[in-house]
Amino acid sequence: MQGKSSFDTIINLTNLNIDRNRLSQSVIGILSQKLLPKLCNDCKQRYLLPPEKKQELFKNSENQKIYAYCKIGCPTCANTGYKGSIAIQELLSFEDDIQKLIFAGKNIKEIKNYLYKREFQDMRYDEIKKEIRGLIDIA
């Protein structure tokens, strides 16, 4: 099923008039992913993240040096700066607490709030990790 995130998939399933009880008991998880171009290992260049970008991506990072990578281009990657693709993913496990929220008819905003309070790692989190590791460039 197509959706931009695990939460979109829940919305799509409920829009198909699938009973919430059946949905909460029969789905064990939703994996959402997207493919992004992977930086070429032979020519990517490391740079110090500007303060405004650091503040946008990280809390309490003003005194830390954070590096990211950008594309350059070389013969290995046909001067594109990219070689291959990499998946950005999020996994929403339907554990007991999530099943109960869905069965109780909670809306997506309430489910999201619940998960983010428990440090749910969404696709943006995975993307930032891969940006800092030099696998992709910063979007």
User: Could you report the per-residue pLDDT of 18-61, keeping only the tens digit for each?
Assistant: 877 787 778 888 899 999 999 999 999 999 988 888 877 777 76
User: Could you report the per-residue pLDDT of 58-97, keeping only the tens digit for each?
Assistant: 777 677 888 999 999 999 999 999 999 999 999 988 887 8
- What does the pLDDT read at residue 23? 77
Written as one letter, the residue type at 68 is: A
**CA 82, CA 76: separation in Å to the nearest integer?**
9
Q: How many domains does the chain have?
A: 1
- What does the pLDDT read at residue 37? 97
Residues spanned by the domain of 60: 6-132
Q: Is 1 contained in some domain?
A: no
Q: Is 138 contained in some domain?
A: no
Tell me 93's DSSP state: E
Q: Is 95 contained in some domain?
A: yes
**CA 14, CA 30: separation in Å to the nearest integer?**
14
Q: Is 139 contained in some domain?
A: no
Q: Is 123 contained in some domain?
A: yes
CATH number at residue 29: 3.40.50.300
Q: Is 137 contained in some domain?
A: no
Q: Is 44 contained in some domain?
A: yes
- What does the pLDDT read at residue 72? 95
